[in-house]
Amino acid sequence: MLLMNHVSKSYRESRFFNKGNSMIRAVEDVSLSIKEGSCFTLLGKSGSGKSTLGKMLLGIEKPDTGEILFNGINVHKTTITERKKLQQSLQVVFQDCHSSVNPKLKIRDIVAEPILVNEKLDARQIEIRVGELLKMVGLSEEDMMKYPHQFSGGQLQRIAIARAISTRPRLIVLDESVNSLDVLVQISILKLLKRLQQELMLTYFFITHDLHVARLFSDEIAILHKGRIVEQLLVHELEHGKHEATKALLDSQLRIDCIHDHLELYEESKHEKKPVIV
C-alpha cells in the first residue's frame, strides 16, 4: 500500500547564531513498505526524525531525495485529481489535541471540515454524518453543538479521530496520538483505534517514542535512530532487537517500569503505614 524509497530530508539549522550553513539531517535514506490493514510503528527517541517522516508521507513536507508511493501514486508529484484522492485517503491525528482543534469552532464544524473539501453536503446531511462519526468514537450526537473547551483531553482526541475517519481514509498517521494522555485514557483510545481499524479496514502509520505503547499496538516496528531505520522487527521479536538504539529503548523502558513498581509499592506502603525497602 505504501512504499518509501531512499527518502532523505535535511533542514537548515535556524539558531540565532548559526550563519545559515549547517544542516540537520532529519531523515536519512529511509526505505520501507507497509501492508494494507497493518499497524506499522515508527519507534524512536525524541528528535530521531519520526514526525518529519510522517509529514513527508502526508505530503506536508517534501523529501530532498527519494520518493513515497501510496497505491502507486507519488505523493509529491500528483495531478489535481490525485491530490484530492490523497487528501481523502490519507489522514492524521497529532499528539496535541488542544492545539489541533480550532477552539472557536463547534465540534460539528471541526469534524466536518475534511469532508467538505471533497463533497458538497447540505446542513442536514452534515449533521447526520457528524452524528454517526461521533457515535463511532464513543461520543454522542448532542456533542456536535459544543465547543472544544467543554471536553477533556481524551474526548478531544476522540473528536480528532472522528475528524480523521470522516473522509473514509485508507491510511491514518498517528503521531504520538496518545502520548499526552493519562495511562488509562491512553488504553481506552488505543482500544478505540483497534476497533476502528477492524471496522473500517484501516492501515495505521503509528509514531511513538513509547515502547510500551508500541508493543501493545503494533504489528511491525521500525526503530528510527538519528534519521535512519536501524532495525525492523515484528512486535514479538522486539525483545531480541540487536541494535544499540533498540537495546537502549528496551533498557530505558525497564528502568521506567522499575521506578513505577517502586512508586506503587510506596503508595501501598502509605496506606498500610509500613515502610517498604526499595
Ligand X SMILES: Nc1ncnc2c1ncn2[C@@H]1O[C@H](COP(=O)(O)OP(=O)(O)O)[C@@H](O)[C@H]1O
Q: Which residues bind ligand X (CB under 6 A)?
A: 11, 14, 24, 26, 44, 46-52
**Residue 64 C-beta: closest distance to ligand X, Å:** 13
**Residue 13 C-beta: closest distance to ligand X, Å:** 7
Residue 266 interacting entry, from ligand X, Mg ion, none, C-beta within 5 to 8 Å by type = none
Which residues, including other chains, have CB under 8 Å from residue 30's CB and lie 6 or more apart?
4, 6, 7, 8, 53, 66, 224, 227, 228, 229
Q: Does 218 bind Mg ion (CB under 5 A)?
A: no
Q: Does 51 bind Mg ion (CB under 5 A)?
A: yes
Closest to 104 (Cα-Cα) out of 149, 134, 143: 149
Q: Does 177 bind Mg ion (CB under 5 A)?
A: no
**Residue 96 C-beta: closest distance to ligand X, Å:** 13
Residue 52 or 88 with smaller CB distance to ligand X? 52
Show the cell assigned to 22: 549547517
CA distance 179 to 263: 21
The helix (H) or strand (E) run that includes residue 259 is helix 244-272
Residue 63 interacting entry, from ligand X, Mg ion, none, C-beta within 5 to 8 Å by type = none
**Residue 188 C-beta: closest distance to ligand X, Å:** 24
CA distance 200 to 223: 27
3-class SS of residue 209 = coil
Residue 47 or 103 with smaller CB distance to ligand X? 47
Residue 90 or 111 with smaller CB distance to Mg ion? 90
Cα Rg, the chain, nearest whole Å? 21
- Burial class of residue 201, CB neighbours in 10 A (0-12, 13-18, 19+): exposed
> Are the C-beta atoms of 7 and 68 separated by less than 8 Å?
yes
Show the cell assigned to 207: 509514531
**Residue 8 C-beta: closest distance to Mg ion, Å:** 18
Residue 176 or 220 with smaller CB distance to ligand X? 176
Closest to 27 (Cα-Cα) out of 63, 59, 1: 63
Residue 143 or 231 with smaller CB distance to ligand X? 231
**Residue 177 C-beta: closest distance to ligand X, Å:** 13
Residue 52 interacting entry, from ligand X, Mg ion, none, C-beta within 5 to 8 Å by type = ligand X
Residue 51 or 167 with smaller CB distance to Mg ion? 51
Residues that bind Mg ion (CB under 5 A): 51
